[in-house]
Amino acid sequence: MASCQDFQLRCQQIEDRMAQSLQLRSQAFIEHSIRAGDLPVDGLRILRTERGAQVFAACRNVEGPTQREEHFEKLKAQLSVIEKLMAQPMSTLEWIHVSCRRKLHDSIKAAIVEHPLLRGYLKLVSNCTSYSEALLKEERVTRQLRRQIIGVLLGEPERRVARLLIQQQHMTALFYCWRLAHYQTRKTDNAQLSRFIWPEESAYQRMIQENQESRVLVTIHMGDFVGAMKRIATHASPERSVITLKREHDSPALQHQFQGEKGQHHVLLHGQYDPVEIVARMRQGNHTLNILFDLGDDFGETTEVYFFGYRARFVKGPALLAIMAKAPILPFCTFEQSGASFIDMQAEIDARPVHGERLDVACQRITQKLAKLAETWIRRHPEQWKFLPELPRYLDRQSIRVCSQQRAGG
């Protein structure tokens, strides 16, 4: 066991050095290096997060000391190549972008959210970061095409979309500041949660009163969704446990975000959890699954839905887990407006298949309902949705071609 733990620690140290090296360069340079074949990513999972790049090596679960040493030597060789590649001279524009991004990350880590002057500074830095990244990442024609496609989907002119994308970068940074502020506090009755305006709060309290059934709480990457989940959790019974799916590790305080007197908060990573175990826990009752559903094929198998009137792909895991767990779905979104944060909770979705309905058909039907909700929320506050710049990626190729032709024809 000791040797295994030592191996895990050594891998972690190499991963951290890789991440630090990748953070010295822009995403555009890293993506170009991957496409050119210069960056050795075999066996590596590289995630781009609001706080910078994170690296995870696939060799962590290797059994046997000989195999471990072989994989560790390969990992060190990858580190050497990455460090040399990232040490190459950068252009003036990339240097400006990296400098802006570093200031943005420092601001985010400081959880700047309260003082108006600090929020103004955060907005300035996030806008500079967004603009410099756009210049680096895409050629003018490609950037224009992306704006045109988003414009078709939202029914907005290209100039308006360009402004939305700049605003979106700032809002994403602001909401991540809130997230870190929540991670720094363990109790659910802190003052940060009192700012939420939640019209359906009384109705929700009546619905869950003495209800020991498990439930699936779903939302999208919009607004201060972590704070909204904490606010909703203040009404849960102490015995209720929470399961949250995430894509990367975070602060140790995250384990205590929704913890009552007896309940527990289980944080599981995408791709590293057993769905059967989640279903088994949910069927026991007194569990809440927190999950975000506005995800593509990076997070598992997808099913076809219509999104903004075009064929698209949405991850089917949230609907499938709810169906298998026989648990109702409670959808909500949160957004900021006029200096306040709002929680908009929709009607419960019955996840039970109708009579004679196949599992895949039921999964597609429920996912379509969720996609329609997401579309409604995004239309209302597009600048507050984290994945607005990636909106075209949800569509299939035929839909993208139709969008492009429609914009050209218009």
pLDDT in tens, 161-173: 988 988 898 888 8
Kindly list the distances between the CA atom of residue 96 and the CA atoms of 48, 99, 165, in Å, as whole numbers in the listed order. Answer: 19, 5, 19
Residues 197 and 327 in one domain: yes
Residues 252 and 151 in one domain: no
Residue 151 placed within a domain: yes
Which residue range(s) make up the domain with 159? 93-183
Region of 88 on the Ramachandran plot (φ > 0 left; ψ -120 to 50 alpha; else beta) = beta
Residues 260 and 388 in one domain: yes
Instruction: Give per-residue pLDDT as tens, 311-354.
Output: 999 999 899 999 999 999 999 999 999 888 999 999 999 999 88
pLDDT at 384: 96
Residues 97 and 82 in one domain: no
The answer to whether 42 touches 4, Cβ cutoff 8 Å, is: no
Residues whose CB is less than 8 angstroms from the CB of residue 163 and which lie 6 or more positions away in sequence, other chains included: none
Residues 290 and 388 in one domain: yes
Residue 408 placed within a domain: no
From 67, 86, 105, the end of a domain falls on: 86
Residue 409 placed within a domain: no
Annotate 315-336 with b (16+ C-beta within 10 A) or e (fewer): bbbbbbbbbbbebbbbbbbbbb
Residues 175 and 202 in one domain: no
From 152, 183, 214, the end of a domain falls on: 183
Residue 407 placed within a domain: no
pLDDT at 285: 87
From 151, 183, 215, the end of a domain falls on: 183
Residues 205 and 107 in one domain: no
For residue 256, what are its two tokens? 């205590």
Q: How far apart are CA 67 and CA 71, in angstroms?
A: 6
Residue 196 placed within a domain: yes
Residues 97 and 51 in one domain: no
Residues 147 and 244 in one domain: no
Residue 236 placed within a domain: yes
pLDDT at 188: 53
CATH of the domain at 225: 3.40.1130
Residues 65 and 112 in one domain: no
Residue 333 placed within a domain: yes
pLDDT at 345: 95
Residue 283 placed within a domain: yes
Total of domains in the chain: 3
Q: Flag residues of the chain having pLDDT under 50.
A: none
SS3 21: helix
Residues 51 and 149 in one domain: no
Residues 279 and 366 in one domain: yes
pLDDT at 350: 92
* Mean residue pLDDT across the chain: 84
